[in-house]
Structure 1
Amino acid sequence: MPYDELADRLSTPLDPVRVGAFPDGSVDDYHRIRAGESSVDSREAFAAEITAGRDSFVRDHVATDAGGQSVNAARQAAALGDDVCLAGHLDHAVFDFDFETVSMGAPASVHVTLFDADDVMFVEESADLETWSFAELRAALGERLDTFLERDALCCTNWASVPGLGSAFDEIAARDPDGNVFCVDPGPISTAQAGDLLDALERLDGAYDTVLSVNEDEAGRLAETVDRGDADPTSAAALDAIRAAASAAGVVVHGVDAATATTPDGRVSVPTLETERTLTETGAGDRFSGGLARSLGAGWEWDVALAMGNACAGHYVSGQGTGGVAELRDRVLADRPR
């Protein structure tokens, strides 16, 4: 069982790997809403109140935190003791970390409405992110650019909100880096964006061992793009077609019940931890990708790397924040499937 192997590895500090993450960032405000004095705890209840004619709600602030997919992945790797460099849009006091950061502009603003089962996000995009290009990364890192591009694991995130990533992949490929793991977590892409993403990933072939990390909805859009929309997007056939189109080393779906990957050696599936959701699951998938990428960068087997991703996500969903080595070991021992 991969969780047994993972627990053994987490019994001592991990050998650090060099992790890089880019290019997004957001300031996330979490709220609950009320209809008068009554809490609104689900999307269905919210919709019912609106349908019934209510046009005013009370919003109660719960917390403000640093967010963004690359930020969350970087925080996860840093919590595991890795050597992390985050190149994001971090021009705000909330991004005060004890690992290396460089900022390329203003972050997005995200308002997360907390529901019991499935949160809703309202996003005010950052103009700096919308106009971002590889030139900003080059300017921010300067002489450290090549070292950044050749870290053991790179987490590249939020294709859905960063139009400049396509041309950035071309420029990265043209530099011909001696790359390692390049983990792409694209965010909530449309079907049109999915096709562009696959084309761009194919152009990185030879520079990196590319890994595409998506949730089930995103996997469905990718499957439609490769004419597998009528199949289970986590099936071997669908994931193999996506992997071939992207010229990727692996495609991973971090689902509700299991994390599933297709690789040149076949399909691997690891059930998720039996964890109760508490405050929010927003950001859990990013922590999955951070744990997955650093584990693959460390040379771990696919099943153990998937188990690590599940452990990182499960610990966060449990309401205990971003887990370190000892915390994740306790989580695995308590919540692994029996």
Structure 2
Amino acid sequence: MAYDALVARLDDGLDPVRFGAFPDGSVDDYYRLRDGESTVTSRPSFADAILAGRDSFTLEHVVTEAGGQAVNAARQAAALGDDTVLAGHLDHPLFEFDFETVSMGDPARVRVCLFDADDVMFVEESADLADWSAADLRAALDDVDAFLERDALCCTNWASVPGLGTALRTVAASDPDGGVFCLDPGPLSAGQANGLLGALTPLGDAYDVVVSVNDDEARRLAAAAGGDGRPTDPKALEAVRTAANAAGVVVHGADAAVASTAEGRVSVPTLDVSRGLTETGAGDRFSAGLARSLAAGWAWDLAVAMGNACAAHYVAGAGTGGVDDLRAHVDANRS
């Protein structure tokens, strides 16, 4: 079992890798939605209230946190002891970490409406992020080439960063001596899925590209690659992997994480945990655990299990897990 092997690996401790994440960042305000004296706990109940004519709700503030996909991934890698550099949009006092950061402008503002499942996010975009380009990354870093040649890179939020397509082609043209390049695109539209596959194709000649997606994102990419759109269908995932010139495509779903790789198909069940405050940010922690483990030379099943462990620890409300946290968590929840 992959989780038995993961516990044994975590018992031995981890050798750090050089990890980088870019380019987003957000200030995330979490709220509960109230309808009079009652808390609205689901999307259907919210929709029912609106259809019934309710036109006024109350937002009850819960917490404000540093967010953004790259930020979440960097926090996970740092918690595992990796040498971490975050290049994001971090111009806000909330972004103070004990690892290296550089800022490229103002973060987005995200209001997360907490439901029992499937939180809803309302995003106020950052103009700096909307205008971002590879030139901003180069200007922010003392040595952008060294950053691009880190053992593992997490590049995130394709859906909200229009300049990423051109930037990835610029990176590929520079022919870096790349390691693992994990692309976690965020909530793709159908049109964005085609652009993403086109931008990843040249990048695969410089990196071991890994595409990390949820079910909805996988469905859109599969449709763009000519598949039937079922998110974990073997032929559909392999079509995405081929179109993206990727080493692997991983779908982190509710019941299992499924990967299509050059070595074959891998499936690792998720850890069964009770949900804490939110699942928002769990996928980013999955991507970080996956990418840093592949960069450390781990087999695919073990790396996918590590991603699942990072996500499950966060979903359970235990925060971003370090090595000892994850070992205990997996040991307690493996079947």
Q: What's the TM-score, normalizing by structure 2?
A: 0.99
The answer as to 2:235 corresponding to 1:237 is yes
> What is the match of residue 148 of structure 2?
149
After superposition, the CA RMSD in angstroms is: 0.8
Q: Cα deviation per residue 1:60-98 (whole Å; 9 max; x = unaligned)?
A: 100000000000000000000000000000000110000
Alignment of 1:183-262 (within 5 A): 183-230=182-229, 232-262=230-260
CA distance in 2, matches of 1:246, 1:240: 10
> What one-letter code is carried by the residue in structure 1 that aligns with 2:184?
D
Which residue of the partner structure matches residue 301 of structure 1? Answer: 299
Kept in 2: contact 1:157–1:186 (CA 8 A): yes
Task: Choose the corresponding residue for 2:283, options 282, 285, 308.
Answer: 285
For 1:195 and 1:273, the matched residues in 2 are separated by 32
- Structure 2 residue runs of 5 or longer lacking an equivalent are none
How far apart are residue 258 of structure 1 and its match?
A: 0.4
Runs of 4+, deviation exceeding 4 Å: none
What is the alpha-carbon distance in structure 2 between the residues aligned to residue 233 and residue 116 of structure 1? 24
Q: Offset at 1:14?
A: 0.9
CA contact (8 A) 1:109 1:123 kept: yes
Contact map agreement 1:73 1:287 (CA 8 A) in 2? yes
5+ residue gaps in structure 1? none
Offset at residue 54 of structure 1 (A): 1.4
Q: The residue matched to 2:217 in structure 1 has which SS?
A: helix
Matches within 5 A, 1:22-171: 22-142=22-142, 144-171=143-170
Q: Once structures 1 and 2 are overlaid, which stretch shifts more, 84-93 or 50-59?
A: 50-59
Tell me, in whole angstroms, the C-alpha distance in 2 between the residues paired with 1:312 and 1:133: 30
SS at match of 1:28: strand
Structure 2 Cα separation of the partners of residues 121 and 37 of structure 1: 23
Distance 1:198 1:167 in 2: 13
Q: Distance in 1 between matches of 2:223 and 2:36?
A: 43
> Which 10-residue stretch deviates more, 76-85 or 220-229?
220-229
Query: For 2:20 and 2:285, how far apart are their aligned partners in 1?
Result: 14
Shift of 1:12: 3.5
Are residues 1:11 and 2:11 paired?
Answer: yes
State the Cα distance separating 1:291 from its structure 2 match.
0.5
Q: What's the offset of the Cα at 1:178? A: 0.4
1:221–1:229 CA contact under 8 A, matched in 2: no
Deviations 1:202-239 (A, max 9, x none): 01122100000000000000111112125x32121111
- How much has 1:47 moved relative to structure 2? 1.2
Distance 2:52 2:231 in 1: 37
TM-score (norm 1): 0.98
Q: Percent identity?
A: 70
CA shift at 1:58, angstroms?
A: 1.4
Deviations 1:254-309 (A, max 9, x none): 01100011111110000000111121000000000010000001110000000000
Give the number of aligned pairs: 335
CA contact (8 A) 1:3 1:307 kept: yes
Tell me, in whole angstroms, the C-alpha distance in 2 between the residues paired with 1:255 and 1:127. 32
- Partner in structure 1 of residue 263 of structure 2: 265
Contact 1:33 1:39 in 2 (8 A): yes
